């Protein structure tokens, strides 16, 4: 695996060697008894003094590898580098087939905490510029491993869409001395046309310029640049877990596949190449989750790939989602329960 930089758009492309992976019929290594095929977990997650059932492993087919340096080098005027980084598999629990919306709040709390802990840990490694978690769910999402999981990647570059957001947020801040996402939150709350769910501290909206039908963002109604720093301050996840569970329950009634990605601030333990680049990061960037349902089964034509085309306006999508029940059939009773009094604040 190698990374090549497009000299025009400046985005990095992961280039594989042309090898293909055979689908295996072997028993799932992440189910009870599979012992992850003998691989030792990176983290056996605990929260509030209890094992949660969330386990983190190295990804069995990693896009990035953790050893060595990035060996960034020129090839004429082109740039290439090794695919240095981390790629982790976060096994969400013992059940093989479980959508996140069917999990108990305690299980979602554990997963949110595990995400924060892994991002925070990898940010100590100054080689990495960006760390995030994402989830491909369902047949058409590119979900490679069947067992319920999410993934983490740490990279030596900032992914293209995040870079757009960082640059735009910084420019907006320089112009207005306000955070663009805080402004979005205020206007969406006032207009209430694209709001799907609202809790005291979080907002779920179909964004104004949705790229796909039922695109949904979960955004804090307060300002904070970094998901992991925000979460690890008091490890109080119940409200976020609740709005995420309700939002996914609604989405899963209109689609069986989605991508979920967490957008958080880049690694500031690393010196930026451009001095002063991250001066206003804490004020200008605002973490959020983006969920992109996959509702179109056919491949999109060229013109639609180059310019986003959505067949449904977000006002309609939000209205439809608001009407759908915010829970699916009762989740099976989990063994995991938390004694609220024990939560370390
Ligand atoms: Zn399994
Ligand atoms: Zn903000
Ligand atoms: Zn974003």
Concatenate the DSSP letters of all residues of 3-32 into one string.
EEE-TTT--EEEE--S---PPP-SPPTTST
pLDDT value at residue 341:
45
Does residue 236 belong to any structural domain of this protein?
Answer: yes
Distance of CA 105 from the midpoint of ligand 1 (Å): 21
- Give residue 264 CA to ligand 2 midpoint distance, Å: 12
Q: Is residue 333 part of a domain?
A: no
Strand order through the sheet with 50-58: 43-47, 50-58, 85-91, 149-155, 130-137, 258-263, 288-293, 216-220, 202-205, 195-198
Is 204 a member of any domain?
yes
Closest ligand to Cα 147: 1
Surrounding ion ligand 3 within 5 Å at CB are 263
Residue 336 lies in a domain: no
Domain with 317 in it: what CATH number?
3.30.428.10
Residue by residue, pLDDT tens for the chain (345 residues) are 899 999 998 889 999 888 776 666 678 999 999 888 899 999 999 998 999 999 999 999 999 998 878 788 888 989 999 999 999 999 999 999 889 999 999 999 999 999 999 999 999 999 999 999 999 999 888 788 899 999 999 999 999 999 999 999 999 999 999 999 999 999 999 999 999 999 999 999 999 999 999 999 999 999 999 999 999 999 999 999 999 999 999 999 999 899 999 999 999 887 666 666 678 999 999 999 999 999 877 666 666 677 888 889 999 999 999 999 999 875 555 556 665 444 443
- Give the pLDDT confidence score for residue 59 in this predicted structure: 95
Q: How far is the CA of 225 from the centre of ligand 2 (A)?
A: 7
State the first-to-last Cα distance of the chain, in angstroms, to the nearest integer: 43
What pLDDT, on the 0 to 100 scale, is given for residue 296?
76
Q: Report CA(289)–ligand 2 centroid distance (Å).
A: 14
Distance separating alpha carbons of residues 132 and 220, to the nearest angstrom: 17
Residue ranges near ligand 2 (ion) with Cβ within 5 Å: 179, 181-182, 223, 286
Ligand nearest to the CA of 36: 1
Using the mean position of ligand 1's atoms as its centre, give its distance from the Cα of residue 31 in Å.
4
Q: How far is the CA of 239 from the centre of ligand 3 (A)?
A: 20
pLDDT at site 191: 96
Q: Flag whether 340 is in a domain.
A: no
- Whether residue 241 lies inside any domain: the answer is yes
What is the tally of structural domains in the chain?
Answer: 1
Domain that holds residue 62: 2-17+28-327
Q: For residue 180, which ligand has an atom nearest its CA?
A: 2
pLDDT value at residue 140 = 84
Identify whether 35 is part of a domain.
yes
pLDDT at 21 (0 to 100) = 66
For residue 23, is it within any domain?
no
Give the number of the ligand closest to the Cα of residue 27. 1
195: CA distance to ligand 2 center in Å? Answer: 17
Which ligand is located closest to the Cα atom of residue 280?
A: 2
| Ligand 1 centroid distance, CA of 97 (Å) | 7
């Amino acid at each position: 695996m190698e990374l090549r930089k497009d000299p025009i758009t400046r985005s990095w492309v992961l280039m594989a060697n042309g090898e293909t992976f055979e689908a295996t019929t072997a028993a799932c290594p992440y189910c009870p008894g599979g012992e992850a095929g003998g691989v030792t977990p990176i983290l056996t997650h605990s929260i509030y003094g209890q094992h949660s059932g969330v386990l983190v492993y190295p990804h069995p087919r990693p896009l990035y590898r953790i050893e060595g340096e990035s060996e960034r080098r020129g090839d004429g005027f082109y740039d290439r580098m090794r695919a240095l980084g981390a790629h982790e598999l976060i096994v969400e629990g013992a059940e093989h087939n479980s959508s996140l919306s069917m999990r108990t709040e305690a299980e979602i709390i554990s997963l949110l905490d595990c995400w924060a802990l892994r991002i925070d840990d990898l940010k100590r490694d100054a080689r990495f510029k960006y760390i995030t978690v994402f989830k491909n769910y369902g047949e058409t999402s590119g979900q490679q491993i069947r067992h319920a999981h999410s993934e983490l990647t740490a990279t030596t570059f900032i992914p293209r869409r995040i870079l757009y957001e960082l640059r735009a947020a910084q420019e907006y801040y320089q112009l207005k001395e306000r955070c663009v996402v805080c402004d979005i939150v205020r206007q969406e709350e006032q207009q209430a046309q694209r709001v799907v769910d609202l809790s005291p501290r979080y907002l779920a909206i179909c964004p104004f310029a949705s790229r796909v039908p039922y695109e949904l963002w979960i955004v804090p109604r307060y300002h904070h640049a970094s998901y992991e720093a925000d979460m690890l301050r008091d490890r109080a996840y119940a409200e976020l877990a609740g709005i995420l569970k309700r939002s996914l329950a609604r989405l899963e009634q209109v689609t069986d596949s989605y991508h979920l990605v967490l957008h958080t601030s880049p690694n500031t333990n690393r010196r930026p190449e451009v001095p002063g680049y991250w001066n206003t990061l804490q004020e200008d960037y605002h973490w959020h989750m983006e969920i992109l349902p996959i509702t179109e089964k056919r491949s999109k034509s060229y013109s639609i790939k180059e310019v986003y085309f959505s067949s449904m306006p977000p006002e309609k999508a939000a209205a439809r989602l608001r009407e759908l029940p915010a829970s699916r059939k009762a989740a099976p009773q989990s063994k995991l329960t938390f004694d609220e009094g024990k939560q370390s604040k």
